[in-house]
């Protein structure tokens, strides 16, 4: 959220427009940092998303397996 607010202030101050508002972090990172650092930041975001998704998939699969297993095999 803070990145979006800073991006709005930056683009308003420089009288520029952003083509896609959802790309404010990527665009702002490209302006502020070296491309290698930007790539590292974006890969860190992707890694956190993948970690969250894998945790959610584990919880869902465990719950579904436990429910079906108890329902059909009653052990």
Residues contacting 21, CB < 8 A, separation 6+: none
Q: 5 to each of 1, 9, 25, how far by Cα in Å?
A: 6, 6, 11
Q: What is the pLDDT of residue 72?
A: 81
Q: What is the pLDDT of residue 3?
A: 80
Q: 75 to each of 58, 61, 63, 68, how far by Cα in Å?
A: 22, 19, 16, 11
Along the chain (75 residues), what's the average pLDDT of each consecutive run of 10 residues?
Answer: 82 83 86 92 94 94 86 74
Token representation of residue 69: 């297993």
Domain residue spans of the chain: 1-32, 34-75
Q: Which of 10, 14, 13 is nearest to 24 (CA)?
A: 10
Q: What is the pLDDT of residue 75?
A: 61
């Amino acid at each position: 959220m803070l990145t979006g607010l800073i991006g709005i202030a930056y683009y308003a101050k420089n009288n520029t427009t952003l083509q896609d508002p959802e790309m404010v972090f990527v665009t702002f990172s490209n302006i502020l940092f070296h491309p290698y650092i930007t790539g590292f930041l974006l890969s860190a975001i992707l890694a956190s998303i993948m970690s969250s998704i894998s945790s959610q998939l584990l919880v869902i699969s465990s719950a579904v397996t436990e429910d079906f297993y108890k329902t059909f095999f009653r052990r």
